[in-house]
Structure 1
Amino acid sequence: MGRHIKSGIFKVGGFNWAICYYTDGSSLASQGYVGVALELMSPSSGVRATFDIGLVNHRTGLSQVIVNVGEPQLYSNALTRSLFGFYPLMKTSELEVSEFLQDDCLIIQCDLRVIGMPQIEMGTEKIQVPPPDIVQNLQKLLEQKEATDVSFDVQGVTFDAHKIILAMRSPVFKAELYGSMMETRMHLITIEDMQPVVFKALLHFIYTDSLHLPNDLDGEEKIEMVKHLLVAADRYAMERLKLICEYFFSKKLAVENVAAIFHFADQYNSHKLKDACVEFMTTSNRINDVALSQGYSNLKRDYPCVLVEMLEKASKIPKI
């Protein structure tokens, strides 16, 4: 516990990086989980980066994104923060029986994006312009609850927010807060059929435009969380959040769950996700394996119309 294996050094954006792989968590709180951290190896006073980290399925050769850090993080040797965070991938016991592990080996794929800092000329001197900080300012506005003017009651948990920001980000919130659908009690609105943790993540996205999932969630819990967020995105007409959730599910597709995910996508008009499900089934001719899955049987029994649509779509795509 707390010990890690460091990868070879790789260069992105003119800086050297390494992945640190923890075999048994970084602390007592994460013991029993394998996880990763990203380390800046080059000396630097400040580098901003976002990244995705996934594991490669040895059988299919496909990568499954498990960690998505869409909000720029600051790496700085001067601030002794060259090693940033610990991101759990999955329980050790789950990894040992998964197709990510073969002959005691696993492949970690990192998609790293370094965000450069522009320069301006003042006379003969070039000066670096600090990175935009409006997202951080908006996040502080949410966290510090400064000048909030509306509250939400979600299963007994109260969240304070700003009406104008909610209205700017969601046409549904705009109608509820300013239009003919305006709530009679403007200062306290009750949200039905949503968990507090989901509403918190929804607010975080509204203020920062980035998806944030709690680090302590395991694989299945993350899938369930994103499922609820997609429902929330559909409810509040937030197309960007919905698209991000659809992308998340497209990377989680497997023979056992593709039929269930297709049905879920059909319920919430996620056409791109439905197409991804069909493409998954037709690639490498997986349709026969899918037909033997429990998810397929459930769809055949309970929602035959959805199954017919799925098979019709699959029949129109040339098999690879």
Structure 2
Amino acid sequence: MVEQRKISAAMVSEERSFVLKVDEYSRVKAQLKIGESLTSTPFTVGGHKWTVRYYPNAVWAFNADSISLYLCLESAGAEDVKAKFTLSVLDKNGEPVPSYSHTNPMRTFSKSSVWGSELAIKRADLERSAYLRDDCLTIRCDLTVAKEIKSQETRVAPSDLHQHLGDLLKNKDAADLVFQVGGKRFSAHRCVLAARSSVFKAELLGAMKESSAALPIEIHDMEAHVFESLLHFIYTDSVPELEMASNKGETGVVMAGHLLVAADRYNIIRLKQICEEKLCNHIDSNMVATSLALAEQHGFHRLKEACLQFLASPSNFDAMVASDGYEHLKSSCPSVLKELIARMIPSEFKSAKDVIMAI
């Protein structure tokens, strides 16, 4: 299956200033009514056309004693254009007058949308000031338009590294190691095993490097099919035996237990997490004694806690005692049985708990 990916868009901006001169200020004020405006010639910023609208008698009657300034996006079909702007009255030197200037934060414009300067300039104050010269008012708009540059959508195939490494294991191409496990031989690649396991790295690139090149490396205390699954995970990062729906029952749980021990032996952390997760999610009265013994012997704390919580129920505990794994648990891990019984005793019997743990 092909994946669709899109590179994150980059934001750039374009800045420009536009000056609007209102000649014959008094005549324009007299001719235009409330809500009527003088519109500047269009100017282009960020690939879009803009105008500044000057309302000498404001837009609404409630502030008719003021002038109003608006910025308008004029480009046909334009949508979601992001821009920020400052509208200012200029002094005789062409510099913005701070008291008659206002900066608007980044806003989103669409065709025919307008934003006011949010600056109330009282006409009486303006007409008494030095900024209205020879009946001429000069206004500047400093406009910054943000532009999003989007890359074209690309179609990238999903990673197939695991398939290539799986084929490498299957075909034995350039294999430089042989393992002997339970009467069965397995070919492998020193560099792959060393990259995936710190234990294999220490053994295969350390003191055992010379001896491992000539003779088969014997693996004891592990069944051949378990080692085969371990190798498959090392090369492909997957465990079909645990992932298949048909293995949700006892067979899959047993394999998870074997692989958990193998993964712990070779310090393959992700495989340990996968196996421990499966065992925690499939605890029942038939397997709980075996799983608890496994957790206690190898220090799998999460699995141990999950088993102890399951056995906190008296009915589950009784069923566990009647299971085939109970005798093994009792003989191999008597301390965990004492811990379990102590947990089942009510908290007010603290002395009884202490006695049991001391036996």
Look up the match of 2:306: 276
Look up the match of 1:227: 257
Tell me, yes or no, if the aligned pair for 1:266 and 1:306 is still in contact at 8 Å: yes
Look up the match of 1:304: 334
CA shift at 1:147, angstroms? Answer: 1.3
Tell me, yes or no, if the aligned pair for 1:204 and 1:211 is still in contact at 8 Å: yes
Tell me, yes or no, if the aligned pair for 2:293 and 2:332 is still in contact at 8 Å: no
Tell me, yes or no, if the aligned pair for 1:259 and 1:290 is still in contact at 8 Å: no
Matched AA of 1:290 = F
Look up the match of 1:200: 228
Q: Compared with structure 1, are the counterparts of its residues 127 and 155 closer, same or farther at alpha carbon in structure 2 (3 Å cutoff)?
A: same
Q: Deviations over 1:216-249 (max 9, x none)?
A: 8683332222222112112111122112111111
- Aligned-pair identity in percent equals 40
Q: Deviations over 1:271-318 (max 9, x none)?
A: 110011123334xxx13431353248534466422201234456699x
Does 1:118 pair with 2:5? yes
Look up the match of 1:211: 239
TM-score (norm 1): 0.55
Tell me, yes or no, if the aligned pair for 1:281 and 1:290 is still in contact at 8 Å: yes
Does 1:171 pair with 2:198? yes
Alpha-carbon distance between aligned partners in 2 of 1:196 and 1:226, rounded to the nearest angstrom = 15
Q: Compared with structure 1, are the counterparts of its residues 290 and 134 closer, same or farther at alpha carbon in structure 2 (3 Å cutoff)?
A: same
Alpha-carbon distance between aligned partners in 2 of 1:245 and 1:185, rounded to the nearest angstrom = 29
Matched AA of 2:335 = C
Alpha-carbon distance between aligned partners in 1 of 2:255 and 2:317, rounded to the nearest angstrom = 24
Q: Point out the structure with max Rg over C-alpha.
A: 2
Q: How many residues align?
A: 201
From 285, 301, 322, the equivalent of 1:255 is 285
Alpha-carbon distance between aligned partners in 1 of 2:212 and 2:331, rounded to the nearest angstrom = 44
Alpha-carbon distance between aligned partners in 1 of 2:183 and 2:285, rounded to the nearest angstrom = 39
Matched AA of 2:282 = K
Matched position secondary structure for 1:253: coil
Tell me, yes or no, if the aligned pair for 1:250 and 1:277 is still in contact at 8 Å: yes
Matched AA of 2:193 = L
Tell me, yes or no, if the aligned pair for 1:279 and 1:314 is still in contact at 8 Å: no
Look up the match of 1:190: 218
Matched AA of 1:200 = E
Matched position secondary structure for 1:279: helix
CA shift at 1:152, angstroms? Answer: 1.0
Look up the match of 1:65: none
Alpha-carbon distance between aligned partners in 2 of 1:302 and 1:166, rounded to the nearest angstrom = 32
Look up the match of 2:177: 150
CA shift at 1:255, angstroms? Answer: 3.0
Structure 1 stretch displaced more, 131-140 or 198-207: 131-140
Does 1:141 pair with 2:168? yes
Runs of 5+ consecutive residues of structure 1 not aligned to the other structure: 1-45, 48-115
Alpha-carbon distance between aligned partners in 2 of 1:183 and 1:314, rounded to the nearest angstrom = 55
Task: With a CA cutoff of 8 Å and minimum separation of 6, indicate the structure with the bigger relative contact order.
Answer: 2
Alpha-carbon distance between aligned partners in 1 of 2:340 and 2:311, rounded to the nearest angstrom = 10
Structure 1 stretch displaced more, 234-243 or 291-300: 291-300
Q: Compared with structure 1, are the counterparts of its residues 301 and 161 closer, same or farther at alpha carbon in structure 2 (3 Å cutoff)?
A: closer
Look up the match of 1:264: 294
Tell me, yes or no, if the aligned pair for 1:262 and 1:274 is still in contact at 8 Å: yes
Does 1:159 pair with 2:46? no
Matched position secondary structure for 1:186: helix
Q: Compared with structure 1, are the counterparts of its residues 195 and 255 closer, same or farther at alpha carbon in structure 2 (3 Å cutoff)?
A: closer
CA shift at 1:182, angstroms? Answer: 4.0
Tell me, yes or no, if the aligned pair for 2:193 and 2:200 is still in contact at 8 Å: yes
Alpha-carbon distance between aligned partners in 2 of 1:266 and 1:171, rounded to the nearest angstrom = 23
CA shift at 1:124, angstroms? Answer: 6.9
The Cα RMSD (Å) is 3.0
Matched position secondary structure for 2:153: strand
Q: Deviations over 1:70-108 (max 9, x none)?
A: xxxxxxxxxxxxxxxxxxxxxxxxxxxxxxxxxxxxxxx
